[in-house]
Amino acid sequence: MKDYEHPFFRPLWRRVAVVAVCVIWSIIEFATGTPFWGVIALGFAGYAVWQFFYLYKPADESKAAAEPEPKE
C-alpha cells in the first residue's frame, strides 16, 4: 500500500483539508516575507494535489461488501 492509499485519506474532506492547510501555510509564508518557505509549502500543496486527486484510486467498498464472509 502506498501512503496516499492509506485508509485515513479515504474521506474526501481529509484530502481537501491537507491541500488547504498547505496552501494556507504558503499564503502565510508569502505574507510574512519568506518566499522560500512559501514556495516549499506550495510544492507540498502541488504534490498533495497530484497524490490525492490525480493518482488516488478509492478502494472499491461495494466489491468488498459483495463478497460473502467465510463460514466456519
**What percentage of residues in the chain have a pLDDT greater than 70?**
74
56 and 15 Cβ atoms separated by less than 8 Å:
yes
As given in the structure block, the three cell numbers for residue 7 are 485508509
5 and 56 Cβ atoms separated by less than 8 Å:
yes
**pTM above threshold 0.85:** no
**Triad 19, 22, 24: Cα angle to 5°:** 110
- 6 alpha-carbon distance from chain centroid: 10
- 11 alpha-carbon distance from chain centroid: 9
pLDDT tens, position by position, 16-50: 999 999 999 999 999 999 999 999 999 999 999 99
Q: Which residue has the higher pLDDT, 7 or 44?
A: 44
Q: Is 1's pLDDT higher than 50?
A: no
What is residue 20's predicted lDDT score, i.e. its pLDDT? 95
Q: Where are the domains of the chain?
A: 21-56
